Copies of this chain bind each other. A is one copy, B any other.
């Protein structure tokens, strides 16, 4: 009953680095708190860490950790402004993500 492996119907053009970057972006948004942060930033552009902390039911240290993950994944950008940090969505990377997902799926 074993069928031979069908020939590929097409190829996907994606470098190892690009694929790793995509997986990292998927992983970063695969967490309810981080998704909430992205949603918050989408509706509240240019807010500081404290605003995000206030909007969430978790400790400041944990929020900071999640922001780090989102930043390293490329979803957000943090600009230090005085003692505070302004966070915003990284529009270029988000566009790249959507474009690549559209190519593949």
Contacts and interface: CB of A to CB of B under 8 A. Distances in A.
Interface of A: 1-3, 5-12, 14, 19-20, 22-24, 26-32, 35, 38-39, 42-48, 50-51, 54-55, 82-84, 89, 94, 97-98, 101-102, 104-105
Copies of the protein in its oligomer: 2
**7 smallest A-B Cβ distances: which pairs?**
A27-B30, A26-B30, A26-B29, A30-B30, A8-B43, A5-B51, A23-B35
Contact of A105 (B2, B23, B94): B94
A55 to B, nearest CB: 8
A45 B9 contact: yes
A29 B102 CA distance: 14
18 contacts: A1-B82, A7-B44, A8-B43, A8-B44, A9-B44, A11-B43, A12-B39, A14-B39, A19-B35, A23-B30, A26-B27, A26-B29, A30-B30, A89-B105, A97-B105, A98-B98, A98-B101, A98-B102
